[in-house]
Amino acid sequence: IAGITQAPTSQILAAGRRMTLRCTQDMRHNAMYWYRQDLGLGLRLIHYSNTAGTTGKGEVPDGYSVSRANTDDFPLTLASAVPSQTSVYFCASSSGDDTGELFFGEGSRLTVL
């Protein structure tokens, strides 16, 4: 089934630990995104990639890094997790068309203690 796969679906993490959230899509979409979603706030863009080999910073990039070595994979890394990074993280992709809809993964719920 085509779509976006995120892993893990849920994780509890000690503060200071390094964590990578994985995201893989099989739709051959050029653009990929990482969002965080917190109660009472809209989805906030962390990082994005318009095409393989390029990445850009979104609204809330601090404490996060990404890479885009190929079209399919777009991992998000927290180098040293802090409690304020407790959130639900969504990976998304689009065809890259200016009007392209976003397709979302099922989300990764991260708790940093």
Partner 1 sequence: GQNIDQPTEMTATEGAIVQINCTYQTSGFNGLFWYQQHAGEAPTFLSYNVLDGLEEKGRFSSFLSRSKGYSYLLLKELQMKDSASYLCAVIGSNYQLIWGAGTKLIIKP
Q: What is the closest distance, in whole angstroms, from the C-beta atom of residue 42 to partner 1 in the complex?
A: 3
Q: What is the closest distance, in whole angstroms, from the C-beta atom of residue 79 to partner 1 in the complex?
A: 24
CA 47 vs CA 90, 109, 113: distances in Å: 11, 18, 24
Q: Which is nearer to partner 1, 20 or 57 (CB)?
A: 57
Q: Which is nearer to partner 1, 16 or 96 (CB)?
A: 96
What residue has token string 């679906």? 9
Closest CA to 113 of 7, 11, 37, 41: 11
Q: What is the contact surface with partner 1 in residues (CB under 8 A)?
A: 40-45, 48, 58, 90, 98-99, 101-107
Q: What is the closest distance, in whole angstroms, from the C-beta atom of residue 21 to partner 1 in the complex?
A: 14
CB atoms within 10 A of CB 24: 18
